[in-house]
Amino acid sequence: MIGTVAGSAAMYHAMTSLGLASESRYKGPIRLEGDPKGASVLVLGAGLAGMTSALELRKAGYTVQILEFNGRPGGRNWTLRGGDTFTELGGHKQLCEFEDGLYLNPGPWRIPYHHRALLDYCRRLGVALEPFNQLNHNALLHSVRAFDGKPQRLRAVKADFQGQIAELLAKVTQQGKLDETVSKEDQEILLQALRSWGALDNGYGYKANLISAEFRGYTRDPGGGLTAMPEPSEPVGLSEVLKSRLWRYLRGFAHYNFQTTMFQPVGGMDMIGKAFAKEVGDLIRYNAKVTQIQQDARGVTVSYVDAKHPGAVQQVHADWCVCTIPLTILSQLPLDVSAAMKSAIDAVPYAASVKIGLQFKRRFWEEDEAIYGGISYTDLPIRQIAYPNYHYNRAGRGVLLGAYLFDGPNSYEFTAMSPAERVARAVEFGAVIHPQYKSEFENGIAVAWHRVPFVLGCSGDWSDETRAAHYNNLCQIDGRIVLAGEHASALPAWQEGAILSALDAIGRLHDRVVRT
Given phi > 0 = left and psi -120 to 50 = alpha, else beta, which region is 436? alpha
CB count within 10 Å of CB 253 equals 18
Instruction: Say how far apart CA 164 and CA 143 lie, in whole Å.
Output: 21
How much of the chain, in percent, has pLDDT values that exceed 90? 89
Looking at 3.40.50.970, 3.90.660.10, 3.40.1110.10, 3.90.79.10, the CATH number of the domain 81-139+260-267+351-451 comes to 3.90.660.10
pLDDT at 10: 46
* DSSP E strand boundaries for 348-397: 353-360, 375-378, 384-386
pLDDT at 165: 95
Whether pLDDT at 365 is above 60: yes
What are the backbone dihedrals phi and psi of residue 397, each rounded to the nearest 5 degrees, phi first? -70, 160
**Torsion angle of the four alpha carbons 185, 190, 195, 201, in this order, in degrees rounded to the nearest 10:** -50
Under DSSP, is residue 219 helix (H, G, I), strand (E, B) or coil?
strand
Q: Give the CATH number of domain 153-244.
A: 1.20.1440.240
CA 128 from centre of chain:
19
Give mean pLDDT, residues 241-262: 91
Domain boundary assignment for the chain: 21-70+269-349+461-515, 81-139+260-267+351-451, 153-244
Under DSSP, is residue 177 helix (H, G, I), strand (E, B) or coil?
coil
Instruction: Say how far apart CA 22 and CA 87 lie, in whole Å.
Output: 34
pLDDT at 85: 97
Indicate if 81-139+260-267+351-451 has the same CATH topology as 21-70+269-349+461-515. Answer: no
Give mean pLDDT, residues 369-373: 98
Under DSSP, is residue 448 helix (H, G, I), strand (E, B) or coil?
strand
Under DSSP, is residue 349 helix (H, G, I), strand (E, B) or coil?
coil
pLDDT tens digits, 175-214:
888 887 888 899 999 999 999 999 999 999 999 999 999 9
Whether pLDDT at 17 is above 70: no
Instruction: Say how far apart CA 82 and CA 100 lie, in whole Å.
Output: 6
pTM above 0.85, yes or no: yes
pLDDT tens digits, 49-79:
999 999 999 999 999 999 999 999 999 999 9
Worst-scoring range by mean pLDDT, 18-22, 96-100, 310-314, 474-478? 18-22
Query: How confident is the prediction for the chain on average, in pLDDT?
Result: 94
pLDDT band at 4 (very low <50, low <70, confident <90, very high): very low
pLDDT at 23: 56
pLDDT tens digits, 211-248:
999 999 999 999 999 889 999 999 999 999 999 999 99
Whether CATH 1.10.260.40 fits 21-70+269-349+461-515: no
pLDDT at 37: 93
pLDDT tens digits, 350-362:
999 999 999 999 9
Worst-scoring range by mean pLDDT, 14-23, 171-180, 485-494? 14-23
Instruction: Say how far apart CA 24 and CA 260 lie, in whole Å.
Output: 16
CB count within 10 Å of CB 391 equals 15
